[in-house]
């Protein structure tokens, strides 16, 4: 049973309630069970999942207030950060999207067994769903899905005007920011904040906050092949 709650206290400033702890424990149990049938994550030891997935999904909330916003988590995989956010912030409305149906089946098991409300898992590609759900979300969040210029193009159309994209990045964020300046201009989105977190043993984390001020030009997002081909990566 995980008991190193100090790392949550040290990094977030509080220890989760018993209700949250129980939900996290159940989530971990389902993750281990289902991971033995098909690959969901390489990180599976209990301490690692709590630190590198659960805690890591929440670090950005030190800089950004989550209340009852409408949030989409793009390329959520086994639910990071979307399921963790739902557990900690039950008033949010969360949409999880992933192009891999196995992940969606897994997420539906978690949603059901944890009895989570105001959350849905959609099997779709971001660049396609973005056109159907044009400007529908306050926040578009994404972790470990693609190089920054690619992910910016995938997320931007989902955002309402004045919405924010929150992109959880690693130690190469600065280089990615530099290589994404052109597309940033074309997408009409602006980097407004950068949260550089110290390496606490699981690699440096840089969380990027982008603001959308005007509607996304009709051209974007383009076909995935085109986006990737023109990436500065
Ligand atoms: N966000 C999770 C995390 O931090 O652990 C999962 C990261 S995993 C490396 C990337 C996920 O993005 C995969 O589950 C993949 O299926 C999904 N993905 C990649 N491109 C996508 C796209 N264009 N639309 C939707 N999902 C996509």
Ligand 1 atom nearest to 127, measured from its CA: 23
Q: Which domains does the chain have, with CATH numbers?
A: 6-229 (3.40.50.150)
pLDDT score recorded for residue 178: 96
- Nearest-angstrom CA–CA distance, 218 and 233: 24
Rounded to an integer, the average pLDDT of 96-105 is 97
3-state secondary structure 188-228: CEEEEEEEEECCCCCCCEEEEEEEECCCCCCCCCCCHHHHH
* pLDDT one-digit tens code per residue, 24-41: 999 999 999 999 998 898
Residue 212 bridge partners (DSSP): 189
pLDDT value for 199: 75
What local confidence, expressed as pLDDT, does residue 211 receive?
A: 98
For residue 81 and ligand 1, the question of a CB distance below 6 A is answered with no
pLDDT, one tens digit per residue, over 124-156 is 999 999 999 999 999 999 999 999 999 999 999
Residue 202 scores a pLDDT above 80: no
**Residue 167 DSSP SS3:** strand
pLDDT for residue 91 is more than 90: yes
Least confident of 54-63, 125-134, 196-205: 196-205
Mutate to test the pocket of ligand 1, among 34, 53, 103, 145 (most ligand atoms within 8 A of CB): 145
- Give the model's pLDDT for residue 143: 97
Q: How far is the CA of 228 from the centre of ligand 1 (A)?
A: 14
Q: What is the mean pLDDT of the chain?
A: 95
pLDDT in the model for residue 198:
78
* Beta-bridge partners for 47: none
100 lines ligand 1 (CB under 6 A): yes
CA distances to 67, 145, 184 from 91, rounded to whole Å, are: 6, 26, 31
Interval between CA 47 and ligand 1 midpoint (Å): 23
Please give the distance, rounded to the nearest whole angstrom, from the Cα atom of residue 135 to the centre of ligand 1: 21
Reply yes or no on whether the pLDDT at 200 is more than 80. Answer: no
Distance, in Å, from the CA atom of 50 to the CA atom of 39, rounded to the nearest integer, reads 18
Mean pLDDT of 105-133: 97
Q: Say if ligand 1 is within 6 A of residue 221 CB.
A: no
**This prediction's pTM:** 0.97
**Is residue 70's pLDDT more than 80?**
yes
Q: What pLDDT does residue 203 have?
A: 76
């Amino acid at each position: 049973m995980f008991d190193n709650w100090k790392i949550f206290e040290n990094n977030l400033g509080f220890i989760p309630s018993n209700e949250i702890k129980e939900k996290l424990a159940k989530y971990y149990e389902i993750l281990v069970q289902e991971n033995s049938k098909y690959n969901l994550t390489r990180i599976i030891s209990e301490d690692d999942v709590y630190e590198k997935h659960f805690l890591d999904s929440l670090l950005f909330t030190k800089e950004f207030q989550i209340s009852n916003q409408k949030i989409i988590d793009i390329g959520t995989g086994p639910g990071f950060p979307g399921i963790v956010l739902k557990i900690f912030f039950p008033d949010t409305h969360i949409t999880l999207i992933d192009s891999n149906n196995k992940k969606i089946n897994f997420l539906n098991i978690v949603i059901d067994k944890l009895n989570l409300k105001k959350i849905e898992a959609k099997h779709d590609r971001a660049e396609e769903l973005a056109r159907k759900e044009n400007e529908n979300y306050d926040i578009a969040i994404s972790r470990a899905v693609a190089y920054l210029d690619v992910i910016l193009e995938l997320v931007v159309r989902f955002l309402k005007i004045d919405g924010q994209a929150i992109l959880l990045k690693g130690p190469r964020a600065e280089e990615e920011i530099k290589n994404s300046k052109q597309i940033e201009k074309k997408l009409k989105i602006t980097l407004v904040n950068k949260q550089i977190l110290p390496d606490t043993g699981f690699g440096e984390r840089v969380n990027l906050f982008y603001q959308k001020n005007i509607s996304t030009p009709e051209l974007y997002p383009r076909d995935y092949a085109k986006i990737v081909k023109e990436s500065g990566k």
